[in-house]
Amino acid sequence: MPELIKVTDVVKRFGRVTALGGICLSLFEGETMGLVGESGSGKSTLARLILKLIEPTSGTIDYNGITNIRRECQIVFQDPQTSLNPRIRVGEAIAEPMVIHKIENKVGELLEMVKLPANYAERYPHELSGGERQRVGIARALSLKPKFLILDEPVSSLDVSTQVEILKLLKQIKHDLGLTYLFIAHDLSVIGYLSDRIAVMREGRIIELGSKEEVLAAPKEAYTKKLIESSFTL
Amino acid sequence: MLEVKELSVQYEKENLAVKAVDNVSFGLANGEILGIAGESGSGKSTIALALMRLIQPPGRITGGEVFLDGQDLLKMPEAELIKVRGARISMVFQDPFTSLNPVFTVGEQIAESIRLHQGFGRKEAWSRAVEMLDLVRIKDPGSRSKDYPHQFSGGMRQRVMIAMALACQPELLIADEPTTALDATIQAEIVRLFLQIQAEFKISIIYISHSFGIIKALCHRVVVVNQGRVMEAGGVGEVLARPRSGYTQKLLDAVTALNPRLIKEVKT
């Protein structure tokens, strides 16, 4: 598979704080890269750098096969409650990126893609459940036909049964549209469900990287082992 | 030690009434760790608040009895109940960021509750506060007791909350999702701390959580709630292996769907 995004020696400092201390990461077309780490490990900083919302202190990010970053790289946020404007109807929220980028409005199609009824376009965010709001967040992220999607803790504020529904939907969409995902989560079981490869981050570095099987079943780093031991399984 | 009988709580607004807790009954033995499991909105936190009669309007307890060693807490005069809260029953909440007062040192906050409930003088209360910090495994408790909440990490703050809850040697500790806001490795440490505390002090614990994984690791029995009602109750092993309610089955299926087999293999 061709390389879609290549992160080389990226360092990001905020004042005296080094948030990222030299990251190298290749994302290949069609894969889901799981990025796991605890709060403050630099996961979201890396996401913002890849989206070019912030610039690295040093290092480079190459985009192969992506010409328009703003259009082709999108993000789904953790909290669908705060990432949707409470005063804007769902339909308008989904349509906004298409209006700004002056492309054909396909709200109905997008709602169908995330398995919400067409009449939800008329509703306000508060009339939706947490899972439904996250579906709206996904529809909006898909509105500009992206190639690459960053999922930043997309299910961590949801109940377990809703988590499974959303993860299934994300899997389906990726399959149907041939997307590449960077999937950020702190929960290994959620990461394991969706990812092909897993990168473990700690204190601004990637300390372990491998296939899902390698990282979860045969972790090399003590910290990865500790993370696995800390997850409460049934 | 605790017997909850047909507890009901209702939230009322204008002419609309919502039953948040509907005829909930369960018992708790001495030294037992009981899990209350449910999804958001199931009423599990409302049950905890109702046990201590802390439901705020527009909510109100509409029926039931809560016996603590034979005394009905719901019929007790407020003045007497104040002596129960914090002293015989204490509570740890989800968010250690909002439940500590930012302008007092943690030592002062723990000592305050000791002075209030146990009538100790300032000095004794303070040295007991330091002992409590040591008990929850905070290193160098003497000097840490003089620090303010913002000088502690999330996990450490939750340890302070637990120290505060244990300060008056309660018979019952109610913990409402105390690890949800914490990182995975810290969460595991706090769950271990609860196990150690229970073993050391033989207190009873009600542990409220949405995570069956944590409940399995920690609790002896579990009550599964949904929409304010008890779906089923029983030994944790029994309920997880052979759930009788379709709702429990559905929740467990969701957890197993997420549990990568790989993780289980590594751990066993």
Tell me which residues of chain B, numbers 48 to 87, contact chain A at a CB-CB cutoff of 8 Å: none
Instruction: Give the gyration radius of chain A's Cα atoms.
Output: 18
- Residue B23: name the closest of B73, B64, B51 by CA: B64
Element holding A20 (H helix, E strand): strand A17-28
Sheet containing A32-36, strands listed edge to edge, beginning at the edge strand earlier in sequence: A73-76, A148-152, A180-185, A32-36, A197-202, A205-211
Bridge partners of residue A8, in order along the sequence: A60
From the list B211, B257, B263, the residue facing A188 with the nearest CB is B263
From the list A130, A190, A219, the residue facing B258 with the nearest CB is A190
Tell me which residues of chain B, numbers 225 to 254, contact chain A at a CB-CB cutoff of 8 Å: 240, 250-252, 254
> Taking the alpha carbons of B127, B133, B135, B137 in that order, is the dihedral positive or negative?
negative
From the list B39, B183, B262, the residue facing A186 with the nearest CB is B183
The whole-angstrom separation of Cα A184 and Cα A217 is: 20
Pairing of β A205-211 and β A197-202: antiparallel
Q: In chain A, which residue's Cα lies nearest the Cα of B266?
A: A217
A67 at B interface, C-beta within 8 A: no
Note the pLDDT of residue B261.
Answer: 64
- The backbone torsions φ and ψ at residue A64, rounded to the nearest 5 degrees and listed phi first, read -100, 130
Which pTM value belongs to this model? 0.86
From the list A39, A189, A234, the residue facing B183 with the nearest CB is A39
From the list B39, B186, B216, the residue facing A234 with the nearest CB is B216
pLDDT tens readout for residues A63-108? 998 999 999 999 998 877 788 899 999 999 999 999 999 988 899 9
- The backbone torsions φ and ψ at residue B94, rounded to the nearest 5 degrees and listed phi first, read -60, -45
Q: Which residue has the tokens 């120290």?
A: B163
In tens digits, chain B (268 residues) has pLDDT values of 999 999 999 998 888 888 999 999 999 999 999 999 999 889 999 999 999 999 988 899 999 999 998 899 999 999 999 888 888 999 998 876 778 899 999 999 999 988 988 888 999 999 999 999 998 889 899 999 999 999 988 888 988 999 999 888 899 999 999 888 788 888 898 899 999 989 988 999 999 999 999 999 999 999 999 999 999 999 999 999 999 999 999 999 888 888 766 666 555 5
Q: What's the mean pLDDT when you consider all of chain A? A: 93
Note the pLDDT of residue B141.
Answer: 93
Q: In chain A, which residue's Cα lies nearest the Cα of B184?
A: A230
Set of chain B residues whose Cβ sits within 8 Å of the Cβ of A192: 258, 260, 262-263
The whole-angstrom separation of Cα A160 and Cα A180 is: 24
pLDDT tens readout for residues A144-195? 999 999 999 999 888 888 999 999 999 999 999 999 999 999 888 889 899 9
B211 at A interface, C-beta within 8 A: yes
- Nearest-CA distance from B122 to chain A in Å? 38
Cα distances (Å, whole numbers) of residue A141 to A75, A103, A109, A145, A167: 6, 14, 13, 8, 15
Please indicate whether, in this complex, the C-beta atoms of B262 and A164 are within 8 angstroms of each other. no
What one-character DSSP code corresponds to residue A109? H
- Residue A101: name the closest of A75, A134, A68, A52 by CA: A68
Set of chain B residues whose Cβ sits within 8 Å of the Cβ of A159: 39-40, 210
B116 at A interface, C-beta within 8 A: no
Tell me which residues of chain A, numbers 199 to 228, contact chain B at a CB-CB cutoff of 8 Å: 212-213, 216-219, 225-228
Set of chain B residues whose Cβ sits within 8 Å of the Cβ of A164: 254, 257-258
Find all residues with CB under 8 Å of A222, minimum gap 6, and list them: none
Set of chain B residues whose Cβ sits within 8 Å of the Cβ of A130: 40
Are A30 and A3 in contact, with CB atoms under 8 Å apart? no
Please indicate whether, in this complex, the C-beta atoms of A229 and B252 are within 8 angstroms of each other. no
- Residue B213: name the closest of A151, A84, A233 by CA: A233
From the list B254, B257, B263, the residue facing A233 with the nearest CB is B263
Q: Is residue A33's pLDDT more than 80?
A: yes
B153 at A interface, C-beta within 8 A: no
Bridge partners of residue A225, in order along the sequence: none
Set of chain A residues whose Cβ sits within 8 Å of the Cβ of B267: 228-229, 233
A160 at B interface, C-beta within 8 A: yes
Set of chain B residues whose Cβ sits within 8 Å of the Cβ of A214: none
The whole-angstrom separation of Cα A193 and Cα A135 is: 18
Residue B250 in tokens? 């559905």
Q: In chain B, which residue's Cα lies nearest the Cα of A227?
A: B185
Set of chain A residues whose Cβ sits within 8 Å of the Cβ of B242: none
- Residue A151: name the closest of A179, A127, A178, A124 by CA: A179
A36 at B interface, C-beta within 8 A: no
Residue B228 identity: G
The whole-angstrom separation of Cα A200 and Cα A81 is: 28
The whole-angstrom separation of Cα A133 and Cα A117 is: 13
